[in-house]
Amino acid sequence: MIARILFLAAVLLLAGLAGWLLGGWPGALTGVVLGSLLALGVDSRRGLRFNHWLAAPDAA
């Protein structure tokens, strides 16, 4: 669970940084939103339906 949260935080940080470098604050906000959708695994064929991988129990 901790690894999944750290992965999500890293994706959001990198997406925000890339957006900041490309377009300042608006780019950073856009990068964070798009990065979070990417990290959570949005199924684009079904709209905003998340895979809920953060809630899945860790494998033993």
54 assigned to some structural domain: no
57 assigned to some structural domain: no
Contact 12, 32 (CB under 8 A): yes
16 assigned to some structural domain: yes
38 assigned to some structural domain: yes
d(CA 27, CA 23): 4
37 assigned to some structural domain: yes
6 assigned to some structural domain: yes
Please tell me which residue, 5 or 43, carries the higher pLDDT value: 5
Residues 6+ apart with CB under 8 A from 34: 15
Per-residue pLDDT reduced to its tens digit, 19-28: 888 888 888 8
29 assigned to some structural domain: yes
Q: Which domain holds residue 42?
A: 2-46
> What is the total count of domains within the chain?
1
- What is residue 42's predicted lDDT score, i.e. its pLDDT? 59
For the entire predicted model, the pTM comes to 0.55
